[in-house]
Amino acid sequence: MSIISKCLKWLRHSLRNAVVFPLSFIMPRSRHKWLFGSNMGFAGNAKYLFIYLNEHPDEGIRPLWIAKNRQELKQMKAMGLEAFRRWSAKGTYHALTSKYYLYNSYATDLHTVAMGRAVKVNLWHGVGIKNIEYAISLGPLRHVLYTDSLRQRIDNNWHFIKPDIFLSTSPMMTRHFAKCFRIPQEACIESAYPRNLIFKADKKDITAMMHRYESEPTCATLDKATQFKHIYIYMPTMRDSGGDFFKSIGWDFNDINNALKASKSCLIIKTHPITKLDISAFEYSNIFTVDKDADVYPILALSDTLITDYSSVYYDYILMPGKETLLLIPDIKEYMSTDRDLAFPFHEMTAGKKLLSTAELADHIRSGGEPSAEEQKRNREIASLFWAFPDDSCHELICKIKDLPVRKGSVWFVDILKCQPRITPRHN
């Protein structure tokens, strides 16, 4: 792109923002219009609450989705869902007139300059034991939220814009989230995650949902996987330090594939959306991959065993009784010393079998181990700490959002201007 083109693009964006920003504070906002969006694609809690509202017009809410690109918009339109491009005329209008902004991660999943006095509802994307946001004091991310530079706060504004309402899942997690996001505990509503309600659906309904709302490659992978006797799914957490952690922890895919063939099983690999590692070219008879942006929750519901490490997905999975959890953690010392610090003790807050190598994993697959009664009991105990309202419905969540005494959304840019580090970051 030439210098002139860059300047024209900057000027266009600046003029657009100069018009939209003041309008966002004076345009009337409808409490019946709820605006959804996610930089992770059509996935997460935002997706499932959006689908529920589309299927239940009796709630009196008009759900609208803001697509991040043309491909996502085309996908949404093909599903018969009401969606708009982020900076289209209609998308901007709805962003200016919707009372509630609902998202999976950060307010920048939607229109930042158009949010004005909208009520920002962070549905978040996982409970777990890792420190996040302002509580991070270890690893490459520790400096992101510890800056006095106004420019850096503006450039990384998604971290500094605070939600007006935050979806928590238990009193323990409310305390954790309040600390991590620097929000009052009163701003948290405690309810079930909409995405986890699929765990209660039967196989037929899950498959139907997959084929309606997921891409053809993802559906094809699941259809292929369900032909096997046992489905393993591997979901490692992101490594803040980056790199090829498959290589660093010594994955022997040939050994794993042979073990899977011997036990008539398959393994689905789904990496974290932020993970840069490309595994799409893997070619093994019993090992499949799904796109990192694919919605994994229907797959989790149909799988038999979860293999993970320090990921919050472990706590989602143990909501399903009788499922097996395996924790592949050969890099536990390195992870806890250089990558990310933990808010809760790892071994006390996990009950799955710990494996220190892929050789141990291959042996376990060959033996076809099952979770013990003691392990299942401990998983239920741990789950109760993280999920105090597992039986809540989407309707109950909607009522809790409506009932929270928030009349006006906060002035988001004040969060950026006022933000100061409160915790001294750890230095190596």
Q: How many domains does the chain have?
A: 2
Q: Is residue 3 part of a domain?
A: no
Q: Is residue 6 part of a domain?
A: no
Q: Which amino acid is at 161?
A: I
How far is 204 from 301, CA to CA, in rounded Å?
11
**What domain range is 115 assigned to?**
16-192+393-418
Model pLDDT for residues 53-95, shown as the tens digit of each residue:
999 999 999 999 999 889 899 989 999 999 999 889 999 999 9
Q: Is residue 62 part of a domain?
A: yes
236 and 327 assigned to the same domain: yes
410 and 308 assigned to the same domain: no
170 and 218 assigned to the same domain: no
217 and 70 assigned to the same domain: no
Q: How many residues does the chain have?
A: 428
What is residue 420's predicted lDDT score, i.e. its pLDDT?
52
Model pLDDT for residues 392-424, shown as the tens digit of each residue:
999 999 999 998 876 555 555 555 555 554 444
231 and 162 assigned to the same domain: no
What is residue 13's predicted lDDT score, i.e. its pLDDT?
76
20 and 141 assigned to the same domain: yes
374 and 410 assigned to the same domain: no
151 and 269 assigned to the same domain: no
What is residue 412's predicted lDDT score, i.e. its pLDDT?
52
Note down pLDDT in tens along the chain; length 428 residues.
Answer: 678 887 877 787 778 788 888 898 999 999 999 999 998 888 899 999 999 999 999 999 999 999 988 989 998 999 999 999 988 999 999 999 999 999 998 888 888 888 888 999 999 999 989 888 888 877 666 666 666 566 666 555 556 788 999 999 999 999 999 999 889 999 999 999 999 999 999 989 998 988 898 888 888 888 899 999 999 999 988 776 666 677 777 788 899 999 999 999 999 998 876 666 666 556 789 999 888 778 889 999 999 999 999 899 999 999 999 899 999 998 888 877 777 788 899 999 999 789 999 999 999 999 887 788 888 999 999 999 999 999 999 999 999 999 887 655 555 555 555 555 444 444 43
CATH for 288: 3.40.50.12580
Q: Is residue 7 part of a domain?
A: no
125 and 45 assigned to the same domain: yes
List, as one string, the DSSP characters of 334-382: HIIIII--BSS-TTTT--SEEESSHHHHHHHHHHT----HHHHHHHHHH
What is residue 240's predicted lDDT score, i.e. its pLDDT?
63
Task: Lay out the sheet containing 98-103: strands in order across.
Answer: 83-85, 62-67, 30-37, 98-103, 119-122, 165-168, 188-190
Nearest to 64 by CA among 39, 95, 42: 95
220 and 347 assigned to the same domain: yes
285 and 141 assigned to the same domain: no
Kindly report whether the global pTM for this prediction surpasses the value 0.85.
yes
334 and 214 assigned to the same domain: yes
Q: Is residue 398 part of a domain?
A: yes
